[in-house]
Amino acid sequence: MSEPLLVVERRGGTVESAHRVHAVAVRDGEVVASAGDPGLVTFFRSSAKPLQGLLLARARPVLDDRLVAIACASHRAEPAQIEAVRDLLAAGGVTEDDLELGLQEGRPPERVYHNCSGKHAGFLTVCRASGWPTVGYRLPDHPLQQAILAEVTDAAGQTPATGVDHCSVVTFALPLERMADVFSRLGARDGADRILAAMRTHPELVGGEGSLDTELMRARPGWVAKGGAEGLLCGLTDDGTGFALKVEDGAQRGLAPALASFLPGNGEFDRVPVENSRGELVGEVALR
């Protein structure tokens, strides 16, 4: 096993913080590159949203791409994103009152502004289309969550450990190598053509301005990327390589420089500027 990638923050030339990053790339069922521990088990968090969205793509195969993309999003509550969430709720025949997530600190006090509201709107739409109750859709024993668990298990080739995500639904723990493999094979799953096309067409809905997954998809047409909480990024390149990166301490800022080092041709992401409260450049986050 190789050493993890080491990303540091430098301020005035002095290293102030360091982040260890584990990474793996899989193509055709084989690990083609790795750094650190490809068997590291962590939670899929929001990087699982393209997989969770498959149920929506199957239940409502003619939905507008905007609505499919927002169901896979961790949005920044930008106006176009909130509009898409509300449009998806309307298309599903449900309302904001049906959303079973809490309020998000620093955002307007309405559940629609939570960064996972698009996913939840998609879940509710699947419940309506499938004849399942909408109440309790977030709970592990609900038919929706059981169907998603079966989807993740089949895609990963193993039963994941489970926990509760910050937005109150089930989240899944898997080795990084399994996550990368899931993304490498995502296109073969029923409904995935809708998911991949929607994310590629509307990367601005998936994350938002400045979000690494959005910026990566804009810079690399044909790629798909989805970030997750606690320093996770998963994706699929245009040659069918799935990848997963995890910052060991959960710091999101370590992802971009690690990505630039791990996947060749992404040099524009190799440095994250560190600015003071006046907007002046005082340091950087970069590979050591």
Tell me the pLDDT tens digit for each residue of 30-81: 999 999 999 999 999 999 999 999 999 999 999 999 999 999 999 999 999 9
The DSSP 8-state label assigned to residue 255 in this structure reads H
The DSSP 8-state label assigned to residue 98 in this structure reads G
pLDDT digits (tens, 9 = 90+) for 235-288: 999 999 999 999 999 999 999 999 999 999 999 999 999 999 999 999 999 999
The predicted pLDDT at position 82 comes to: 98
CATH number of the domain encompassing residue 40: 3.40.710
Helices 255-262 & 212-219 angle (0-180, nearest 10) = 30
On the question of pLDDT at 232 being above 80, the answer is: yes
What the block records as the tokens of 17 is: 């913080």
Domain that includes residue 208, residue range: 5-287
The confidence band for 1, taking pLDDT boundaries of 50, 70 and 90, is confident
- 46's enclosing H/E stretch is none
pLDDT digits (tens, 9 = 90+) for 91-150: 999 999 999 999 999 999 999 999 999 999 999 999 999 999 999 999 999 999 999 999
The predicted pLDDT at position 33 comes to: 98
Residue 208: which of 78, 88, 92 has the closest Cα?
78
Average pLDDT over residues 82-94: 98
Phi-psi region of 21 (alpha: psi -120 to 50; beta: other; left: phi over 0): beta
Instruction: Please enumerate in sequence order all residues whose Cβ is within 8 A of that of 125, keeping only pairs 6 or more positions apart, or say none.
Output: 56, 59, 60, 71, 88, 89, 91, 92, 93, 94
Percent of the chain with pLDDT over 90: 99
Distance CA 173, CA 53 (A): 18
The predicted pLDDT at position 123 comes to: 98
The confidence band for 218, taking pLDDT boundaries of 50, 70 and 90, is very high
Phi-psi region of 110 (alpha: psi -120 to 50; beta: other; left: phi over 0): beta
The predicted pLDDT at position 161 comes to: 98
At residue 115, the 3 state secondary structure works out as coil
The confidence band for 185, taking pLDDT boundaries of 50, 70 and 90, is very high
| Apex 272 CA angle, 267 and 275, nearest 5 | 150
90 φ, ψ (degrees, to nearest 5) = -65, -40
Reported pTM: 0.97
Count of domains for the chain: 1
The predicted pLDDT at position 280 comes to: 97
Mean pLDDT score of the chain: 98
Number of C-beta neighbours around residue 226 at 10 A:
30
Average pLDDT over residues 188-205: 98
